[in-house]
Chains A and B, each alone.
Chain A
């Protein structure tokens, strides 16, 4: 089973900041990493597929990078509407596993 270690668990940002969220896999998962955004009471939204591909309809201030074991979700010029819980998911092997999540607060 692939363990995903996501950090930080919580972060507070100011509008306009650049934010980085890390997800480290316990074994090589190629580019089989995905990122999601979830707001309280709402369905999770798919934002980055296969490590670097922006899902259609997602603002270009979101980007993903990484390969193998180290992955990063970056939010450039963060906006107040980006306050949410973000999590990563690997689909390289079974069982599918998730990072512990990051709560992003906007000051």
Chain B
């Protein structure tokens, strides 16, 4: 059974940093591109970042470029999101999602982890 479990969320002050993790199981993690998606309170979903299976290709939404860094450790079946210079508008539930090879849509999602940026 495919499982994605996010962790690392919490309360952080503006300008602070946080590192999110996504632990994957039930599939060959190293064969899949992975994504981070977020949902701010009362808002729709927003794609944040993606990373290819071997980390060769990395993309970011303009809203986080230069502040967030996506990475993965295939040996540990884990995906990460390092978030620096956090702003109030980064407050959201952050989800990791698996991307279907050669198609580009997401077939499995985690339950999410809440990040709150507030003084």
Q: Which residues of A contact B111 (CB under 8 A)?
A: 41-43
B110 A95 Cβ-Cβ under 8 A:
no
Which B residues touch A41, using CB under 8 A? 111
Q: Are A49 and B105 in contact (CB under 8 A)?
A: yes
Count of chain A residues with Cβ under 8 Å from any Cβ of B? 24
Task: Name the A residues within 8 Å of B105 (CB-CB).
Answer: 32, 34, 46, 49-50, 89, 91
User: What mask results when residues 68 to 107 of chain A are scored 1 for a CB within 8 Å of chain B, else 0?
Assistant: 0000000000000000000101010011111111000000
A91 to B61, CA, bound (A): 15
Q: Identify the stretch in B9-17, B24-32, B41-49, B81-89 within 8 Å (CB) of chain A at 4 or more residues.
A: B41-49
Taking a contact as CB atoms under 8 Å apart, the answer to whether B104 and A43 are in contact is: no
Check B80 for interface membership: any CB of A closer than 8 A. Answer: no
Interface of A is mostly: loop
How many Cβ-Cβ contacts under 8 Å join chain A to chain B? 56
* Chain B residues bordering chain A, tally (CB within 8 A): 22
Instruction: Tell me whether A44 is interfacial, beta carbon within 8 Å.
Output: yes
Q: Are A95 and B61 in contact (CB under 8 A)?
A: yes
Q: Is the CB of B44 within 8 A of A101?
A: yes
Contact status of A44 and B47, CB under 8 A, knowing A89-B105, A91-B104: no
List the A side residues contacting B104 at CB < 8 Å: 32, 91, 96
Task: Report A62 CB to chain B, min CB distance, Å.
Answer: 16
Partner of B106, one of A46, A50, A100: A46
A residues at B contact (CB < 8 Å)? 6, 32, 34, 36, 38, 41-44, 46, 49-50, 55, 87, 89, 91, 94-101
